[in-house]
Amino acid sequence: MSRLFGTDGVRGLANGELLTPELAVAVSASAARVLAESDRSHRPVAVVGRDPRASGEMLEAAVVAGLTSAGADAVRLGVLPTPAVAHLVGALGADLGVMISASHNAMPDNGIKLFAAGGQKLPDTVEDAIEAGMGAPGPRPTGSAIGRVRDDTAAIERYLDHLVASTPEPLAGLTVVVDCAHGAASFAAPEAYRRAGADVIAIHADPDGLNINDGVGSTHLESLQQAVVEHGAALGIAHDGDADRCLAVDETGAVVDGDRIMAVIAVAMREAGELVDDTLVATVMSNLGLHLAMQDMGISVRTTGVGDRYVLEELRAGGYSLGGEQSGHVVLPRHATTGDGLLTGLQLMARMAATKSSLAELAGIVTTLPQVLINVKVGDKAAVAASAAVTEAVAAAEAELGRTGRVLLRPSGTEQLVRVMVEAPTQAEADGVAQRLAAVVGSAS
């Protein structure tokens, strides 16, 4: 049987075969029991947030029921970004954080993410203990031992205060268009940017429970590109449904991905003496152009597997101060325990304000090698990725590209997909190699 927890919690079709209210009750109750067993000095307290998708209301009720049935108090935070939940676990002294969101996935999906005390992601060993405990009967408190429920209506204000205090430079004079993906940051992102001094134009900031990520946000940048040019804005910022990602658009409408955002912030931090060991942590998905640009700037790049949890592990292990992914997850451990799209947007704009440079100028230090990413739907992602036919095809592609490019093939951590990534000297070469590999992957399913 496959592991319940993926690279970013439990995710699937809400009220479908996997992600049911019953599962939400079981996961949260087991998490509360695991916490209680590790520290019996007090009743566990869990904070619970969600994004605005309709199924979040149902799952929030189930999560709260599970927590309280196991003797934990539950604090409902309402609709707010995932990084806000992570921050508030620490700020409120909670023992556990639960975020109900499927991030950039389409509306029918949802997910459950867990944060430990201090807002840290749970280690695999704790996730395994929670999963094991789901099938075992636990103590059933009664009377006054049953957990209590309350709402924290000031939670979003605490998070906004934290964001503004973390911004190193006032943003006066900058006009930004922010695409909120009809998601969890529809209020928080425009408000944070305004409070930091920017002139803000918000788009796709009217969630109705059904429209989250629907052709908008960080996975669909076309309308943001158009809006930036039409408004003559200095830049555009795009978030995903739970706002742990940040992608950008420069004043010309060109996309600035996570690699380039990290490069801009890394240089700023190095100049300020804040980049520990002059090192940036990135995943294997980061473009070769980022590595070359950082080398030119005297910055080392340490590489991890794909997933912000692996970036976080490397950041903690080495005490580093910046890491992230090409997809827009950027982690600044001085200010956050996980990827925070709003914090990233503020840091990026602060660099523009401090240098009085355009985003195109700042991001231009990275020359991106043509890169193609194809997601291939399969029946069993692990079996397909490990098949002999796929392994042989990857080896042949690597031999063809030599030192001028690279191939990365990996199963998705959250969906039944195999991701095929190819970099090559020209777009045509990258497209050709990627299409051939994707065909082999599809036929191996």
Task: Give the active site residues.
Answer: 103
Instruction: Catalogue the long-range contacts made by 436-441 (C-beta closer than 8 Å, 24 or more residues apart).
Output: 436/393, 436/397, 437/374, 437/390, 437/393, 437/394, 437/397, 437/407, 437/409, 438/374, 438/376, 440/389, 440/390, 440/393, 441/376, 441/378, 441/384, 441/385, 441/390, 441/409
- Largest CA-CA distance found in the chain, in angstroms, rounded: 69
The C-alpha atoms of residue 182 and residue 209 are separated, in whole angstroms, by 8
The C-alpha atoms of residue 241 and residue 81 are separated, in whole angstroms, by 8
- H-helix or E-strand spanning residue 439: helix 427-443
Place of tokens 């090192």: 279
Residue 11 sits at the vertex; the CA angle it makes with 337 and 154, to the nearest 5 degrees, is 45
- H-helix or E-strand spanning residue 26: helix 21-38
The C-alpha atoms of residue 237 and residue 260 are separated, in whole angstroms, by 13
Question: In the numeric block, which tokens belong to residue 47?
Answer: 């904070």
The alpha-carbon radius of gyration of the chain (Å, integer) is 22
- Helices 21-38 & 55-69 angle (0-180, nearest 10): 40
The C-alpha atoms of residue 112 and residue 164 are separated, in whole angstroms, by 28
Closest to 107 (Cα-Cα) out of 24, 4, 217: 217
The C-alpha atoms of residue 100 and residue 11 are separated, in whole angstroms, by 9
